[in-house]
Structure 1
């Protein structure tokens, strides 16, 4: 199969998944509280516990991607997500909610790392970052379309559209699984070249780089949770400011992600991207905090809009640096478990992000944004030294990275 056809199928499958994600994440909270009758607190506990349990499966799935092959595993994870969504149709207790949430969250988090591994196996080194960036562009566009469909479901508000939305979401995941199964087979790593299952988590230099850049993942919680709460509770900006932020951010990612990611192909540029990500996200936090002072609606909106620009620039640098560093530093024939580490660190921050952001804003007000600025900026300051150490340890040990072996 030609490379262009392979890339097209990978992007289309990811786009279909994004369509289901946009639909599901738009309706699930209202569905569980209004249609299934869960109290908000019980829903939060069930989904939170389920997500935590599901997170435990991400690293083992990464190892399995190396042992069984990433294509067949990604197909299985997509099917598992479809099964979990259908399971939400019948959830009627806290325990059933935890079970469905665990399967859904675990499969979603694991699929991220496995998908990157599949791209690495099916594309040439020089085109990997571009394909990953293109996949994110496709995902954001399709996610927005799914969100629009979810908005229509919320507008109607009756049970039937919600059940239909769940079935459509499951069908999207199954369609993505079917399309993924049609890309070339990726064989497992031969047993003679397999690494021990704990290879990636014992690679302390790699782990240090991923942990240092993981707090940048908070940008998603800031946009989805922190800014809407802040706009309503502490600023004179119009209520639609947070919606404006989501639209502008999505458009910026669609237009600029490929360009930013192309700039992170070299390790030195990926390191710079990490520092710029921390700087721009910290600047966004400072602007959000400042947005509480103007009493003029127009001025408050202008300050927050400037923060939104800084936020999406920081996010573009963040995504680029994570791909650039992880793909350059991971070991050959252990891509699955290394990307499992990447997915685990991001998913862990994403899981606690909304609680951290809302807790800081509720407890410290504008000071919460200042604390968040420190959380995203301080950890990336040692990234250059950490990456230099990682490169030195690989040279001393004769470490065969993916980049060096091709």
Structure 2
């Protein structure tokens, strides 16, 4: 993969994403410690606050995308990043749970606006046949940025002082502001005039698209396999050494960076994207089976199966991401890309909310049968995407259909 796309909007988007996600990595790695050790919140309060903030983000996704269509995606995203940077800096003043809830909810609104505007900005500045390719670049860049931020955040964790955490927060805030300055260089995308008659949020009335969004959101629960279920499974249910957790996480990150652009090839059409979703379900189901089997083996066998399972999982992850981009862009009318991309993001946020409970209950609470049930669920979700896409294309007027879906 090239380090950067060719000069133009795709390169500006990539640079802006890199800057923004370095700040995100800084915050992700140390947020829980800052809120508990420095602010004085309990772990339960932090969990409740993050969950409620995520719910705000889910509810705001489609309206925020609608705002991007009406105001213009560049102005919306720059405004969202400026707001996010200001709110992040405002965390320094948080001293109570109500204040944390207020800042968290406002930040979730800014993040929702950022997500919807990003999709509309890609649709408005990148040619149709390059949109999925560009999203792949941005995802690979996101992994690089978060990894760099996580490493830098380790210094604040090592110091474990309020001064260190405040410096981290101000750096994360500055990253959002700098990303806004980078994205201002993008060409402006004209705002779309609201229809004189009929509903405004048409994405929320598009039943086939909502069905796809739900399937894709539930499929996105697989991200928590690597971050939540697998580490606890390795530590408590296998004979594999604990360092395998770090190794598998590193391998996943590196492979996403190296292979996401390549894995997105062919997903630029509805046909190719639907097939990629089906393959993703199969690969992730295989990963669940391999993870389940690792618990009954000695060290060498457990390590081998965990490694093979992780490779299967990252393969499914790459296909799933590419499929989602291809379908969400392909089914969205050009005049409503913002609200459709916002609605598509709502599915991911929903999956992120449900995943901790679902994957821990099944994989850790039920053990091997739970892993197999998870595998069957992902297999089913992937298999349902092609017929849902066929349903969606059958409801589109002929000019909006790029090609028939035959999968």
Give TM-score, length-normalised by structure 1: 0.94
Aligned to 2:400: 400
**How far 1:401 moved relative to its partner?**
5.6
User: Structure 1 residues 194 and 332 mapped into 2: Cα distance closer, same or farther (>3 Å)?
Assistant: farther
Q: Which aligned pairs between 1:186-225 and structure 2 lie closer than 5 A?
A: 186-191=189-194, 196-225=199-228
What is aligned with 1:350? 352
- Which among 250, 267, 271 is matched to residue 268 of structure 1? 271
Partner of 2:25: 22
Contact 1:197 1:337 (C-alpha < 8 Å) held by counterparts: no
2:14 alignment counterpart: 11
Measured in 1, the distance between the counterparts of 2:245 and 2:142 equals 20
Counterpart CA distance in 2 for 1:199 and 1:192 is 10
- 1:330/1:274 CA distance change after superposition, 3 Å: same
Matched, 1:235 2:243: no
What's the offset of the Cα at 1:134?
A: 0.9
Cα 1:174/1:207, change in 2 over 3 Å: same
Relative to 1, partners in 2 of residues 1:403 and 1:89: Cα closer, same or farther, differing over 3 Å? farther
Give the C-alpha shift of residue 355 in structure 1: 2.4
Q: How far has the Cα of 1:104 moved from its partner?
A: 2.2
Name structure 1 gaps, 5 residues minimum. none
| Aligned residues of 2:194 and 2:200 also touching (Cα < 8 A) | no
**Residue of 247, 251, 257 corresponding to 1:248:** 251
| 8 Å CA contact 2:14, 2:137 repeated in 1 | yes
Aligned to 1:366: 368
Post-superposition shift, 1:13?
Answer: 0.4
Tell me the CA shift for residue 111 of structure 1: 1.8
Task: Indicate if the aligned counterparts of 1:46 and 1:95 stay in contact, CA closer than 8 A.
Answer: no
Shift of 1:403: 8.5
Residues 283-340 of structure 1 deviation map (CA, whole Å, 9 limit, x = unaligned): 111111111111x222211111111101100000000100111111111201011111
Superposed displacement of residue 237, structure 1: 1.0
Evaluate the alpha carbon distance shift between residue 352 and residue 266 of structure 1 in structure 2; reply closer, same or farther with a 3 A threshold.
Answer: same
Equivalent-residue separation in structure 2 for 1:235 and 1:105 (angstroms): 37
SS in 2 for 1:188: coil
* 1:317 alignment partner, one of 316, 319, 323: 319
Structure 2 residue aligned with 1:113? 116
Deviations 1:46-77 (A, max 9, x none): 22122212322111101011111000100111
Deviations 1:88-121 (A, max 9, x none): 2122222111112212233224422321210110
Deviation at 1:193, TM superposition (A): 8.1
Q: Aligned equivalents of 1:268 and 1:318: distance in 2? A: 14
Q: Gaps spanning 5+ residues in structure 2: where?
A: 1-5
Partner of 2:103: 100
The equivalent position to 2:338 in structure 1, one of 329, 336, 339, is 336
Mapping for residues 128-207 of structure 1, pairs under 5 Å: 128-191=131-194, 196-207=199-210
In 2, distance between residues paired with 1:120 and 1:403? 18
Separation of aligned partners in 1, 2:371 and 2:110? 32
Q: Provide, for residues 28-57 of structure 1, a one-character-per-residue CA deviation record: whole Å limited to 9, x for no partner.
A: 011111121211112111221222123221
| TM-score for both structures, normalised by structure 2 | 0.93
What secondary structure does 2:92 align onto?
A: coil
1:133-160 Cα deviation digits (max 9, x unpaired): 1111111111111010112221222221
Give 1:399 deviation, angstroms.
5.7
- Aligned residues between the structures: 400
**Change in 2 beyond 3 A, CA 1:195/1:170:** farther
Question: What is the match of residue 304 of structure 2?
Answer: 302
Q: Which moved more, 1:69-78 or 1:34-43?
A: 34-43
Cα pair 2:88 2:169 within 8 Å, conserved: yes
Q: Distance in 2 between matches of 1:289 and 1:309?
A: 15
Q: For residues 342-369 of structure 1, give each alpha carbon's deviation from its aligned partner in whole angstroms, at most 9, with x where no partner exists.
A: 0001111112212221232342122221
Name the Cα RMSD after superposition.
2.0
**Contact conserved, 2:279 with 2:382, CA < 8 A, in 1?**
no
Q: Is the 8 A contact 2:89 2:173 kept in 1?
A: yes
Identify if the C-alpha distance between structure 1 residues 263 and 399 changes in structure 2 by more than 3 Å, giving closer, same or farther. Answer: closer
